[in-house]
A and B are shown apart, each in its own frame.
Chain A
Amino acid sequence: MRERKIEMEIDDLLNKYFEGETSCKEEQWIRDYFSKEEVPAHLLCYKPMFAYFKNEISIEQNKKKIISGRKKFIYTLSSIAACAVIAVGISTFMHSSNDSCTGNYVMINGKCYTDEATIKAYAKASFQEVATSKDEVFAELFND
């Protein structure tokens, strides 16, 4: 009795299907119905067609999954690349704005001087400062 009812339902749905009036849900139901092993004899002719549709749909869905996975990967990669560019940009900007002092220089109280005489004077002073430890360090050095 129940099977008979289902058969009638599927007949109605098939009619609707061929009229192009079925919803996605109904089409899914039809495909599921024809994917079953047992189908009434008068509907057997539709079985290969819906089996083909079902197969094609699953292939398409797999493709979409792969594409969305690829998209995600490309998105992540491009985000990383964009951030790297931003980081280099920030770094370059910070260096160019803060470290205008490059090459040979002496920075005194945060102020940069690039004239040779001043640099030499301060370099000499700092070198002599560490050299004055003669009595301490060098006595040790020559104990080798």
Chain B
Amino acid sequence: MNKKRGIMKKRIRFLLLMLILAGCFPVVCEAQSGLRIASIFDRYGKQKGVAMVELSTEMLETYGMELYKSITIKDSNRALQEIRQCLEADKKGAKKIKEVVEGGQLISGYYQLPVRKEDINRFILFKLSKKGSTTLVYIEGELESDDLITLLFMKKDL
């Protein structure tokens, strides 16, 4: 009888452990997007003083983009440090890195990430404005680095 109870206890413990793991599963899934900046979109995207945009259809086709994701955080003091840490991690292995640093702090950045899918380039753009708001942009698509620079230079509307 006691032996059976012991086995039952073990089974219940095992099931509880599995359920705890199951609870963690969505978090693990979220972190699978491959880029650290994904956590910025997840964490701050729904907060006050934040505007997050996601575009992924024919609205972008003209520009050779498949995905455009941006987040603008008005009062970004709290998020800024985290964003910089994420960029530091994501830029490892980047094909092209252009950064502007003032007083030892990253002010703006342009990163062309390594290709994940064939013919699909990935870019991260970051800018801290003088007013203290931070903008982070992630772009995915067939467009080349030069195309993106042209777009940025032209200040062309999306």
Q: How many residues of B contact A (CB 8 A)?
A: 50
How far, in angstroms, from A71 to B6 measured CA to CA in the complex? 17
A95 CB → nearest B CB, Å:
8
Q: Would you call A123 an interface residue if the criterion is a C-beta within 8 Å of the partner chain's C-beta atoms?
A: yes
B100 near A140 with CB under 8 A, answer: yes
**B126-158 interface with A by 8 A CB criterion:** 126-127, 129, 133, 135, 137, 149, 151-153, 155, 157-158
> Which of B19-27, B77-85, B87-95, B114-122 lies at the interface with chain A?
B19-27
| Residue interface mask A114-139, B partner, CB < 8 A = 1 | 00100110111111111111101110
By a CB distance below 8 angstroms, the chain A residues around B21 are: 83, 87
Q: Would you call B105 an interface residue if the criterion is a C-beta within 8 Å of the partner chain's C-beta atoms?
A: no
By a CB distance below 8 angstroms, the chain B residues around A83 are: 15, 18-19, 21-22
Which of B55, B133, B151 makes the CB contact (< 8 A) with A104? Answer: B55
B158 near A127 with CB under 8 A, answer: yes
A104 CB → nearest B CB, Å:
5
A106 near B108 with CB under 8 A, answer: no
A90 near B26 with CB under 8 A, answer: yes
A106-B152 in contact given A120-B157, A141-B110 (Cβ < 8 Å): no
Q: Would you call B29 an interface residue if the criterion is a C-beta within 8 Å of the partner chain's C-beta atoms?
A: yes
How far, in angstroms, from A95 to B15 measured CA to CA in the complex? 24
Which of B11, B56, B98, B158 makes the CB contact (< 8 A) with A137? Answer: B98
By a CB distance below 8 angstroms, the chain B residues around A126 are: 51, 53, 70-72, 135, 137
How far, in angstroms, from A54 to B55 measured CA to CA in the complex? 75
B91 CB → nearest A CB, Å:
14
Q: Would you call A94 an interface residue if the criterion is a C-beta within 8 Å of the partner chain's C-beta atoms?
A: yes
Q: How many residues of A contact B (CB 8 A)?
A: 44
By a CB distance below 8 angstroms, the chain A residues around B151 are: 127, 131
A93 CB → nearest B CB, Å:
9
Q: Would you call A17 an interface residue if the criterion is a C-beta within 8 Å of the partner chain's C-beta atoms?
A: no
By a CB distance below 8 angstroms, the chain A residues around B48 are: 109-110
Q: Would you call B35 an interface residue if the criterion is a C-beta within 8 Å of the partner chain's C-beta atoms?
A: no
For the complex of A and B, the 3 pairs showing the least CB-CB separation, nearest first, are: A126-B70, A87-B25, A87-B22
Which residues on B are within 8 Å of A, measured CB to CB? 11, 14-15, 18-19, 21-23, 25-26, 29, 45-57, 59, 68, 70-72, 98-100, 107-110, 125-127, 129, 133, 135, 137, 149, 151-153, 155, 157-158
13 A-B residue pairs with Cβ-Cβ distance under 8 Å, sorted by A, are A83-B21, A88-B25, A104-B54, A104-B57, A107-B46, A107-B50, A107-B52, A110-B50, A128-B155, A130-B127, A138-B153, A140-B99, A141-B110
Which residues on A are within 8 Å of B, measured CB to CB? 75-76, 79-80, 82-84, 86-88, 90-91, 94-95, 101, 103-110, 116, 119-120, 122-134, 136-138, 140-141
Please name 18 further chain A to chain B contacts, defined as beta carbons within 8 Å, in addition to the given A87-B25, A126-B53, A138-B152, sorted by A numbering. A86-B19, A90-B23, A103-B57, A104-B55, A107-B50, A110-B48, A119-B59, A120-B59, A123-B53, A125-B72, A127-B68, A127-B70, A127-B152, A130-B108, A130-B135, A132-B155, A138-B149, A141-B149
